[in-house]
Amino acid sequence: MKHIVTMQDVSCVGKCSLTVALPIISVMGVECSVIPTSVLSTHTMFKNFTFHDLTSEIEPIMKHWEKEGFHFDGIYTGYLGSFEQLSIAQDLFERFGKGKPILIDPVMADNGHLYPGFTQEFAQSMARLCGHADMICPNLTEASFLLQEPYLEKDYTEQQIQDTLKKLCGLGCRAAILTGISLEPGKLGAYAYDSREDAFYQHYEDTLPAKFHGTGDIWASTFFGATIMGKSFTKALEIACRFTTESIRLTLEEPDHNIYGVNFEQALPDLIRMMQED
39 contributes a contact to ligand PXL by CB under 6 A: no
Task: Give 80's contacts (C-beta < 8 A, 6+ positions apart).
Answer: 7, 8, 37, 86, 89, 107, 126
**Residue 45, interface with ligand PXL (CB under 6 A)?**
yes
Count the Cβ atoms, other than its own, within 10 Å of residue 143: 25
Q: Binder to ligand PXL among 134, 142, 205, 217 (CB under 6 A)? A: 217
Q: Does 224 contact ligand PXL by CB under 6 A?
A: no
Closest CA relative to residue 154, chosen from 138, 166, 142, 140: 140
Measured from the CB atom, the residue of 35 and 169 that comes closer to ligand PXL is: 35
Question: Considering the rule CB under 6 A, would residue 40 count as an interface residue with ligand PXL?
Answer: yes
Segment interacting with ligand PXL (CB under 6 A) among 129-137, 211-219, 234-242, 244-252: 211-219
Nearest one of 74, 82, 130 to 105, comparing CA atoms: 130
Q: Is 179 in the site for ligand PXL (CB under 6 A)?
A: no
Q: Three-state SS for 177?
A: strand
The answer to whether residue 22 forms part of the interface with ligand PXL (CB under 6 A) is no
Q: What three-state secondary structure class fits 212?
A: coil
Nearer Cβ to ligand PXL (50/276): 50
Residue 21 makes contact with ligand PXL by CB under 6 A: no
Report the residue from 13, 53, 87, 115 that binds ligand PXL according to the rule CB under 6 A.
Answer: 115
Q: How far is the CB of 16 from ligand PXL (least distance, A)?
A: 3
From 16, 35, 123, 165, residue interacting with ligand PXL (rule: CB under 6 A): 16
Window 50-109: residues binding ligand PXL (CB under 6 A): 79, 107
Q: Which is nearer to ligand PXL, 194 or 217 (CB)?
A: 217
Q: Which of 43, 2, 3, 52 is nearest to 20 (CA)?
A: 43
Beta strands, E only, 175-238: 175-181, 187-194, 199-206
Q: How far apart are CA 146 and CA 121, in angstroms?
A: 10
Residue 238 makes contact with ligand PXL by CB under 6 A: no
Residue 248 contacts residue 262 (beta carbons within 8 Å): yes
Point out which span in 11-19, 88-96, 124-132, 144-152 binds ligand PXL (CB under 6 A): 11-19
Establish if 169 lies at the interface with ligand PXL (CB under 6 A): no
Contact between 46 and ligand PXL by CB under 6 A: the answer reads: no
Between the alpha carbon of residue 180 and those of residues 138, 200, 207, the distances in Å are 9, 16, 10
Q: For residue 37, is it left (φ>0), alpha (ψ between -120 and 50) or beta?
A: alpha
Would you put residue 135 in left (φ > 0), alpha (ψ -120 to 50) or beta?
Answer: beta
Supply the minimum distance, in Å, between the C-beta of residue 159 and ligand PXL: 29
**Binding residues for ligand PXL, per CB under 6 A?**
9, 11, 16-17, 40, 43-45, 79, 107, 115, 213-214, 216-217
